[in-house]
Amino acid sequence: AVEKKVAKGKVGEKVGLPCCHEIPSTESLRNYRVYWQKNITEVVLAYARGEKISNNDRFDNRTQLNERNLTLWISPLEILDNGPYQCIVQHLKVLQNSVVPSIVCDEPVTLYITGDFSEPSITAEVITSSCELDEVMLSCSSHGGFPKPQISGVLNNRPAVWNASWVSESSNSPYNVTGNMQLNLTEDTNLTCSIEYNGFAKSTSLLLSR
């Protein structure tokens, strides 16, 4: 099985997508056609005989090609850049006065975009109160990040489960997440809410006093 190439980047930062071919020092980009495509159908950047031959409004002024190892640099990154890319390299050979392109390589690389979530915000609302206990509705929310996050809770060092809901305009749009939990409070309790996404995490703690 071919090991799939992966690149990771954060919104607003810069990332380089590795290509499958490096042009030897004896040759130049003028001997090649290079296509960087997204989702197979969308041309991000293309060069033929050393000249740029394609324009893509969404990627315009955000991409650069390394003319030796053909790395595609994208900056600043957007959530919509998330997804599969392909580097296609053709070598141009002159045979009997005509140029014959031969495919050197054609390899996919997947770009995973991360957008930071806001610090989680915890609210606590007392529904009913008595001598023995307070019935409290807890809510934890965070917004503006990517990809779809996990939300977890800890009550006095014990795991707690949030009733979670997510809002996003599309699969490639920022996510807002909210978790709700009802709690019978009989003592001072420390609550932590954590939002986890692509190996990153943001946490907030709150002391619930009884």
Q: Looking at 70, 85, 114, which one is the last position of a domain?
A: 114
Q: Average the pLDDT over 29-44 and give the result.
A: 92
Laid out side by side, the sheet with 72-74 consists of: 15-17, 72-74, 63-65
Is 147 found in the same domain as 100?
no
Q: Looking at 114, 139, 154, which one is the last position of a domain?
A: 114
Q: Looking at 92, 114, 136, which one is the last position of a domain?
A: 114
**What single-letter amino acid sits at 146?**
F
Q: Per residue in 140-192, pLDDT tens?
A: 999 999 999 999 999 999 999 999 999 999 988 999 999 999 999 999 999 99
pLDDT of residue 101: 79
Is 140 found in the same domain as 192?
yes
Is 126 found in the same domain as 90?
no
User: What residues contact 45, with CB distance under 8 A and at least 6 apart?
Assistant: 34, 35, 36, 52, 54, 56, 59, 63, 65, 72
Is 19 found in the same domain as 109?
yes
Is 98 found in the same domain as 12?
yes
Is 64 found in the same domain as 138?
no
pLDDT of residue 55: 78
Quote the domain boundaries for residue 180: 118-208
pTM of the model as a whole: 0.83
Q: Average the pLDDT over 44-63 and give the result.
A: 91
Q: Residue 103: is its pLDDT beyond 60? A: yes
pLDDT of residue 41: 86
Is 102 found in the same domain as 73?
yes
Q: Residue 2: is its pLDDT beyond 70? A: no
Number of domains in the chain: 2
Q: What is the mean pLDDT of the chain?
A: 92
Q: Average the pLDDT over 108-116 and give the result.
A: 96
Is 147 found in the same domain as 79?
no
Q: What percent of the chain has pLDDT over 70?
A: 98
Q: How confident is the model at residue 3 (pLDDT cuts 50, 70, 90)?
A: low
Is 103 found in the same domain as 21?
yes
Q: Residue 205: what are its φ and ψ, rounded to 5°?
A: -120, 150
pLDDT of residue 102: 83
- Write the CATH number for 141: 2.60.40.10
Whole-angstrom CA distances from 135 to 19, 33, 140, 202 are 58, 68, 17, 27
Is 99 found in the same domain as 125?
no
Contact 174, 144 (CB under 8 A): yes
Is 34 found in the same domain as 94?
yes
Q: Per residue in 6-31, pLDDT tens?
A: 999 999 999 999 999 999 999 999 99
Q: Residue 1: is its pLDDT beyond 60? A: no
The Cα–Cα gap between 117 and 208 comes to 24
Is 151 found in the same domain as 135?
yes
